[in-house]
Amino acid sequence: MVSPRSRRLPASSPTPSPRKSSWRPATKRPRSCRRSRRRAEVDPRGVVLVIDNYDSFTYNLVQYLGELGERVVVHRNNEITLGEVADLQPVAAVLSPGPGTPGDAGICKDLLLELGPTLPTLGVCLGHQCLGEAYGGQVRRAAQVMHGKVSRVHHREQSIFRGLPSPFTATRYHSLVVERDDLPADLEVTAWTEDGTVMGLRHRQHPLAGVQFHPEAILTEHGHQLLAHFLQDARAWRNTRATAGDPIAE
């Protein structure tokens, strides 16, 4: 997502990120959030890993996950390796919104390709675009820039959209979209706007999903429920795969 409202800091910059002060609506991060630049340790209770793509919306997602009872670990997209993700053994991963293109999203596409077959992952906005591009889709400029715009999102009540009304209202902050016309066979459109713009994706074999809109935005309806469905699906997948001996699911 290309946006004038945020700029990515270089990884080598000693200056603290200004997004720490833009955390909304609370004045401090929720207790359920733990951030560390050191090697992640396994939490026997299970954690949700959030990859921060240097965006002010990241901690809104963290707050929603905390309100759903999750223990959350946050790492920026260039401050954790695939090996450390595997060692963490998260219940699920969430790829946050962010500025730029999927090529600017650090570890995100590699995580989707290398760990995606066994790690349930939800991409939000830029994270959704990473899912599309990682598995062969095309990301292009949107016909209209949608920064802070509200749209009606339609779906077939599949996957994370089950039980939600169709359409429902969602908030959008993006100027890039996943192209629908040449979507690869591995990816399925799960939600769309009235003009046909892709608002949701899922992988047909792997536990991967994406939403172009922001479930954590205050004007998005049913955001908590959508995230709760993703977490339910993640745990069901984890329980199923644990019997097969997958390291990420043990």
- DSSP secondary structure string, 167-236? SEEEEEEEEEEE-STT--TTEEEEEE-TT--EEEEEESSSSEEEESSBTTSTTSTTHHHHHHHHHHHHHH
pLDDT in tens, 13-41: 343 443 333 333 333 444 444 454 444 45
Return the number of other C-beta atoms located less than 10 Å from residue 22's C-beta.
Answer: 14
The pLDDT of residue 245 = 60
Cα gap 11→116, rounded to integer Å: 25
Q: Which residues of the chain have pLDDT under 70?
A: 1-45, 242-250
CATH superfamily of 23-249: Class I glutamine amidotransferase (GATase) domain (3.40.50.880)
Q: Where are the beta strands (DSSP E) in the chain?
A: 33-35, 48-52, 72-76, 92-95, 121-124, 139-155, 168-178, 187-192, 198-203, 208-211
Quick check: helix, strand or coil at residue 81? Answer: coil
Cis amide linkage into residue 25, ω under 30° from 0? yes
The pLDDT of residue 243 = 63
Query: Is 120:238 a contact under the CB 8 Å cutoff?
Result: yes
The position carrying tokens 């995230």 is 227
Residue 114 annotated among the catalytic residues of the structure? no
Could you tell me which residues come within 8 angstroms of residue 10 by beta carbon, excluding any fewer than 6 positions away?
A: none
Nearest to 42 by CA among 79, 69, 67, 71: 71
Domain boundary assignment for the chain: 23-249
Query: Is 190:209 a contact under the CB 8 Å cutoff?
Result: yes
Identify the active-site residue in 75, 155, 206, 216.
216
Identify the active-site residue in 174, 214, 222, 229.
214
Residue 194 annotated among the catalytic residues of the structure? no
Residue 108 annotated among the catalytic residues of the structure? no
Return the number of other C-beta atoms located less than 10 Å from residue 217's C-beta.
Answer: 18
Q: Which residues make beta-bridge pairs with 52?
A: 76
Nearest to 7 by CA among 98, 140, 134, 110: 98
pLDDT in tens, 102-113: 999 999 999 999
The pLDDT of residue 246 = 60
Could you tell me which residues come within 8 angstroms of residue 71 by beta carbon, excluding any fewer than 6 positions away?
A: 32, 34, 43, 45, 46, 47, 48
Nearest to 170 by CA among 136, 140, 202, 213: 213
Identify the active-site residue in 108, 125, 130, 155.
125
The pLDDT of residue 14 = 42
